């Protein structure tokens, strides 16, 4: 009975998220409340299940803040490390945005390539990937799309292919690192992988995929953009990147903090500092250096997303505690007959297709206990399944306008500036690119891990 109710709550949560009538954080919070009261309280009568799912005791342990490997022991319930890290990054990014960092970077690159549209197209794709490795893709696309629109008006080119390419590359770049995309943060913190583990595994495959994607987008659109370059008026007044900087001191400070965050993340397996520690440290550093503006920065943090995560982890905890996810893992194990090729195929394509149509964060959170059980039952290498899951959920989300948050933000900015992008137009470009990258990932995983 508890299993049926837990599944019911989970399905209801997904349906309500898809219907988009009630804010997501309210949905997950209410479903979390129902899981605690009905599933754990009434049906299981298990205070221990509630306590394990809330996972509050993990925050008080030394391992939560220091030594990443051991912190991964508790994969059940609320993943506080993910929440603390995302909070820290949100504070840092707010500080950077306020100082004009992103606009300055975009304009500097455009100037460096002499405002040639084809070169902007390629460099913005690269920049989108690189920034998304460290910063959430929503912020990357928000600024990149805004500058792309500005340059499109100025240089008279169609910004739609460029925005779709930037979105695609942001999602791809996010798959390269542990902090690039929420599914990776959840996978990394839950299974105890470090930043460098991601870079040397998903990062390498994302790098190969990026080359394929650059060639794909270049072949599709270089003629159109070359025409824009050839027909450019001579009297165009180009913007000065320096004008983007709103405050020189804040700009310098936020750049240094960003640099520190990157160094801490890259070295966290060596230093032993966990992502939870890094997130909180960066947030404190940003707040301390921003002085009077600290309260403003804190107010701008997207707490709704953090609440969404808390609720989501409890609902998935309900599935875990009632054993539903073990049943799913057993089912996948039986279909695949323990064959690693089949397991990778199922996880890759099912995760990618699901992530293209539903939010990839709840999907990844649900899949983690499944792949963990699958690995222990069939003896398959857990890391292979983890890299497959990360790549599939991150890249699958690029296929449709609703697959990932960056897609929604990018298409929204374009529509506001006079270029609405419907499903047809988006998928015509992004779907073939997604299939191409998934094929690259599939072959890479087979060759390297199977």
| Cβ neighbours, 10 Å, residue 219 | 9
Residue (418 or 432) nearer to another protein, CB: 418
∠ at Cα 244 (426, 158), nearest 5°? 25
| Of the residues 119, 214, 287, 408, which one makes contact with another protein according to CB under 8 A | 408
**Minimal distance in Å, beta carbon 430 to another protein?**
12
296 forms part of the interface with another protein (CB under 8 A): no
How many CA atoms within 13 Å lie on the side-chain side of 365? Answer: 27
Token pair of 231 as six digits: 């027909």
Non-local CB neighbours of 171 within 8 Å, separated by 6+ positions: 132, 137, 181, 394, 395, 397, 398, 404, 406, 407
Q: Kindly state whether residue 171 participates in binding another protein, applying the rule CB under 8 A.
A: no
Query: Closest separation between CB of residue 420 and another protein, Å?
Result: 3
Binds another protein by CB under 8 A, chosen from 19, 219, 233, 237: 19
Closer residue to another protein (CB): 264 or 356:
356
Angle of helix 160-174 versus helix 423-449 axis, rounded to 10: 30
Taking CB under 8 A as the rule, which mask of x and - marks residues 410-439 in contact with another protein? -xxx-xxxxxxxxx----------------
Which long-range CB contacts under 8 A does 48-52 form with residues at least 24 apart? 49/321, 52/76, 52/77, 52/317, 52/321
Residues 353-382, mask of contacts with another protein (x by CB under 8 A): ------x-----------------------
Rounded-to-integer distance, Cα 28 and Cα 204, Å: 34
Quickly tell me which residue has 């002499």 as its tokens: 114
How many residues make contact with another protein (CB under 8 A)? 28
Q: Cβ of residue 150: shortest distance to another protein, in angstroms? A: 11
Q: Is 338 left (phi over 0), alpha (psi -120 to 50) or beta?
A: left
**Closest to another protein by CB, 170 or 409:** 409
- 153 contributes a contact to another protein by CB under 8 A: yes
CB-CB contact of 98 with 246 (8 Å):
yes
Q: Is 205:185 a contact under the CB 8 Å cutoff?
A: no
- Least distance to another protein, CB of residue 401, Å: 4
Contact between 266 and 126 (Cβ < 8 Å): no
Stretch binding another protein (CB under 8 A), from 106-114, 267-275, 325-333, 408-416: 408-416
Burial 146-175 (b: 16+ CB within 10 A, else e): bbbbbbbebbebebbbbbbbbbbbbbbbbb
How far apart are CB 385 and another protein at their closest, in Å? 28
What does the block give as tokens for 27?
């949905």
C-alpha to C-alpha distance for 395 and 183, rounded to whole angstroms? 11
Q: Is 18 in the site for another protein (CB under 8 A)?
A: yes
**What radius of gyration, in Å, describes the C-alpha atoms of the chain?**
22
Which of 150, 229, 302, 381 touches another protein by CB under 8 A? 302
Please give the Cα distance from 128 to 126 (Å, whole number).
5
Interface mask (CB under 8 A) for another protein, residues 173-212, using x and -? Answer: ----------------------------------------
Confirm or reject binding of residue 21 to another protein (CB under 8 A). Answer: yes
Cα(392)–Cα(347) distance, rounded to whole angstroms?
Answer: 8
Binder of another protein out of 155, 162, 409, 440 (CB under 8 A): 409
Rounded to a whole number of angstroms, the minimum distance from the CB of residue 149 to another protein is 9
Per-residue string for binding with another protein, 256-295, x by CB under 8 A?
Answer: ----------------------------------------
Report if residue 401 touches another protein, rule: CB under 8 A. Answer: yes
State the minimum distance, in angstroms, from the CB of residue 402 to another protein.
4
Q: Which residue has the tokens 């089912």?
A: 331
The nearest distance, CB 423 to another protein, in angstroms, is 6
Give the number of other CB atoms < 10 A from CB of residue 195.
26
20 sits near another protein (criterion: CB under 8 A): yes
**CA torsion through residues 79, 85, 91, 97, sign:** negative
Residue 66: DSSP 8-state: B
- Secondary structure class of 273 (helix, strand, coil): strand
Considering the complex, state which of residue 332 and residue 413 has its C-beta at the smaller distance from another protein: 413
Using the minimum distance from each CB to another protein, give the nearer residue, 341 or 423. 423
Query: Is residue 446 a contact residue for another protein (CB under 8 A)?
Result: no
Bridge partners for 273 per DSSP:
66
To another protein, the closest distance from the beta carbon of 417 in angstroms equals: 7
Largest CA distance in the chain: 75
What tokens does 61 get? 């342990």
Choice between 21 and 299, CB closer to another protein: 21
Choose, by CB under 8 A, the member of 169, 371, 402, 441 that binds another protein.
402
Q: Which of residues 304-343 bind another protein (CB under 8 A)?
A: 304-305
Which window, 176-184, 316-324, 336-344, 399-407, contacts another protein (CB under 8 A)?
A: 399-407
Chain residues binding another protein by CB under 8 A are 18-21, 138, 153, 302, 304-305, 359, 401-402, 405, 407-409, 411-413, 415-423
């Amino acid at each position: 009975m508890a299993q049926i109710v837990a599944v019911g709550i989970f399905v209801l949560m997904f349906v309500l998220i898809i219907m988009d009538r009630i804010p997501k954080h309210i949905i997950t919070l209410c479903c979390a409340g129902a899981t605690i009261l009905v599933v754990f309280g009434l049906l299981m009568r298990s205070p221990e299940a509630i306590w394990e799912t809330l996972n509050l005791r993990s925050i008080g342990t030394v391992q939560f803040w220091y030594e990443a490997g051991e912190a991964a022991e508790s994969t059940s319930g609320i993943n506080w490390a993910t929440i603390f890290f995302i909070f820290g990054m949100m504070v840092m990014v707010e500080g950077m945005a306020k100082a004009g960092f992103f606009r300055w970077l975009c304009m500097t690159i455009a100037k460096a390539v002499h405002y040639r549209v084809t070169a902007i197209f390629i460099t913005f794709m690269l920049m989108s990937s690189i920034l998304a490795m460290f910063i959430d893709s929503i912020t990357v696309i928000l600024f990149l799309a805004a500058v792309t629109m500005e340059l499109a008006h100025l240089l008279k080119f169609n910004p739609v292919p460029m925005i779709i390419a930037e979105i695609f590359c942001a999602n791809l770049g996010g798959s390269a690192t542990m902090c690039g995309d929420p599914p990776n943060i959840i996978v990394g913190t839950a299974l105890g992988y470090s930043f460098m583990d991601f870079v040397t595994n998903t990062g390498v495959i994302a790098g190969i995929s990026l080359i394929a994607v650059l060639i794909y987008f270049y072949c599709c659109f270089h003629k159109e953009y070359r025409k824009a370059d050839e027909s450019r008026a001579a009297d165009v007044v180009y913007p000065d990147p320096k004008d983007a900087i709103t405050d020189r001191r804040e700009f310098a400070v936020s750049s240094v903090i960003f640099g520190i965050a990157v160094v801490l993340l890259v070295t966290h397996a060596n230093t032993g500092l966990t992502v939870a520690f890094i997130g909180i440290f960066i947030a404190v550093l940003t707040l301390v250096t921003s002085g009077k503006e600290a309260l403003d920065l804190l107010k701008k943090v997207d707490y709704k997303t953090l609440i969404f995560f808390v609720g989501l982890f409890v609902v998935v905890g309900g599935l875990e505690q009632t054993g539903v996810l073990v049943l799913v893992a057993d089912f996948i194990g039986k279909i695949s007959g323990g064959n690693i090729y089949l397991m990778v195929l199922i996880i890759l394509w099912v995760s990618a297709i699901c992530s293209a149509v539903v939010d990839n964060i709840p999907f990844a959170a649900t899949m983690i206990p499944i792949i963990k059980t699958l690995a222990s039952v069939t003896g398959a290498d857990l890391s292979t399944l983890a890299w497959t899951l990360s790549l599939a959920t991150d890249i699958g989300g690029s296929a449709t306008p609703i697959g990932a948050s960056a897609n929604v933000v990018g298409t929204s900015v374009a529509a506001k500036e006079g270029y609405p992008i419907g499903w047809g137009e988006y998928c015509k470009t992004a779907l073939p690119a997604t299939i191409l990258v998934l094929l690259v990932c599939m072959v890479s995983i087979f060759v390297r891990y199977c």
